[in-house]
Copies of this chain bind each other. A is one copy, B any other.
Amino acid sequence: MTTIDRAQHDKLANAIRSLAMDGVEKANSGHPGLPMGAADVATVLFTRVMTYDAADPRWPDRDRFVLSAGHGSMLLYALLYLTGVPGMELDDLKKFRQTESKTPGHPENFMTAGVETTTGPLGQGLATAVGMAMAERMLAAEYGKKIVDHHTYVLASDGDLMEGISHEAIALAGHQKLNKLIVFWDDNGISIDGPLSISDNVDQVARFKACGWRAERVDGHDPDAIEAAVRRAQKSNKPTMIACKTIIGFGAPKKQGTSKAHGEALGAEELAAAKKNLGITGGPFEVAADVLKAWRGYGKAGAAAHADWKGRYEAMSERKRDEFDRRQVHGIPAKLDKAILAHKKALIATPQNVATRKASELALEAITPVMPELVMGSADLTPSNNTRTKAAQDFTPKTPKGRYVRYGIREHGMAAAMNGITLHGGFRTGGGTFLVFADYARPSMRLAALMGLPVVYVMTHDSIGLGEDGPTHQPVEQIASLRAMPNMHVFRPADTIETAEAWQFALENTKGPTVLALSRQNLPQLRTDATATNRSAKGGYELLPAEGGKAEVSLFASGSEVEIAVAARKLLAEKGVKARVVSVPSLELLLAQDEATQAAIIGSAPINVAVEAGVRFGWDAVIGEDGGFVGMHSFGASGPYKEVYKHFGITPEAVVDAAMKRHNG
């Protein structure tokens, strides 16, 4: 246990409170309540508990701290400054919430060194931390505890625990017995609308226990009690939730304990009174020299452990170190391209007319041997998503080397955990569900796109082509809605070869996530070439040229409808109309090409018709507002899939009609 006496602890904690109040006051925007209320918990963590080296916030074996309550960002920025993370200066704190500062309104890991993950949308930090703890266990199983042995600590708010994703996260963590995950709940009893009691009366300790956690209550302003609780947690074989009873805005005489302390500057008078109350002297952003010195000391306390670790790391073989380093930064495996090319060639030699979900499985069988860091999983749809290769082993508490995660019926928790696995370092990851259930996972997918995390979503049953399950299961607008998301790539491959190319793109694009929208129904293998070039990587390409002269019609299609476009081209030829087919596995990637490239692919036929079993939304950018579109204009319907296609008029004949109407008109 600690040697820090209470008076010294208070000085350290009050430095956080002081900077948080000043930062929010200067910005006249932000949330002082959480940093003031949770300062004691954070101080215990950063002075007594966590092993970290402020000088190197990327040290792979550091303990992680996730501020799930992202609105309390000044808590984190104050800690980064006080402990001495390079690049976080007082001036940065003074620029809190200003454009392009290192101190944005909510913590953004891509803006600020030392921020483990972007948080703000409630529940995400907690659920992401579950993935981090999973990755820690996986990597430790592979490299041993000498190289990987750290904890993941989370500070969560009432809101984090009210969001549904929290259930998926804690049930998953409890099931996996992630005993190195320790969550502090900032139990301040206040939300924006007022006392929490007006909307919630969940017994959180009992709830966590029901989900397989250790859980206990402590006084969140008693540092020794907090530390003792952590020590107990560290010895448990379960994850632990420590409910810390705190006072929001601790120290602000009039506002503390009320929702007024939550989301706005205290105001000069209240701020002054709070500082007086807490015994804080000095002007705005001033930290007493002895206090800063003490904090900086804690920031350096882990340097020795870091150096020891470095020694153990250096003791590994060079090959092992290189591989460890490559995987930390998501480097692309050297043999990936070759493996995919070989796979494409094998497909050309023995064509496979299979569903693209099956094609994805075939691609995975080719990829996983050269990509040991690939962790796959599914939200309880393994036999439908085809995400599990033959050699895969489940990741369980007893088999931590397993690389296949049974996420359960938890799409949102899965997506957040995948963010955490990716952020942790050491792994790439993909997970499966039905495409329509992207809606359940969307907030976490958006964070992957925002943070630029190369997560792969294997989303099968990608249209009305799934048939009988009907409109609740048939995606219609999901593809458009995901295309609209910045930095999210959506691929809807047409056959086995395009599926392999989509996987290649997804794995080689390390700057953002990719959705693979895959069919349930079988599709013909259309591609007859297998060059090293990834033809899908520009989003679109001419699959079949017009025959016998200049194209009168360009037919655009993605996924399962490319087959329809190919059939329509033939029917048009029978009518003497020359048509080409452009396969568009990724519409938004095509639209992201430079103008000349786009123009070359889109072509200049006088008539454009697109066919896709989804809504038109977005296609006008390719076909023009006068272009023909054969697709969905409503939700789907239950029935055998070929009948459903007819029912909604998505057929070669309809494509021909759309073209001829414009040809004759």
Contact = CB atoms under 8 A, between A and B. Distances in A.
Interface string A458-492: 00000000011111110011001111111100000
B200 A171 contact: yes
Task: Give the dominant DSSP class at A's interface.
Answer: loop
A361 interface: no
B164 A468 contact: no
Contacts of A162: 168, 171, 380, 408-410
Nearest to A200: B408
A446 interface: yes
Interface string A395-414: 01000000000111110110
A362 B108 CA distance: 36
A524 interface: no
Identical copies of this chain, number = 2
B192 A175 contact: no
Nearest to A618: B617
A207 B98 CA distance: 43
A121 B199 contact: no
Interface stretch (A32-40, A436-444, A499-507): A436-444
How many chain A residues sit at the interface, stated as a range, is: 35 or more
B163 A106 contact: no
B406 A198 contact: yes
Contact of A164 (B106, B410, B638): B410
Nearest to A627: B625
A661 to B, nearest CB: 14
A174 interface: yes
B206 A467 contact: no
A650 interface: no
A436 B407 CA distance: 26
A409 B105 contact: no
A378 B443 CA distance: 19
B471 A108 contact: yes
Interface string A150-171: 0000000011001111111001
Contacts of A106: 469-470, 472-473, 638
A168 B168 CA distance: 11
Contacts of A663: none
Interface of A: 27, 29-30, 70, 97-101, 104-106, 108, 118-123, 158-159, 162-168, 171, 174-175, 191-193, 198-204, 206-207, 209-212, 378, 380-384, 394, 396, 406-410, 412-413, 436-437, 439-440, 442-443, 446-447, 449-450, 467-473, 476-477, 480-487, 615-618, 620-622, 624-625, 632-635, 637-640, 643-644, 647
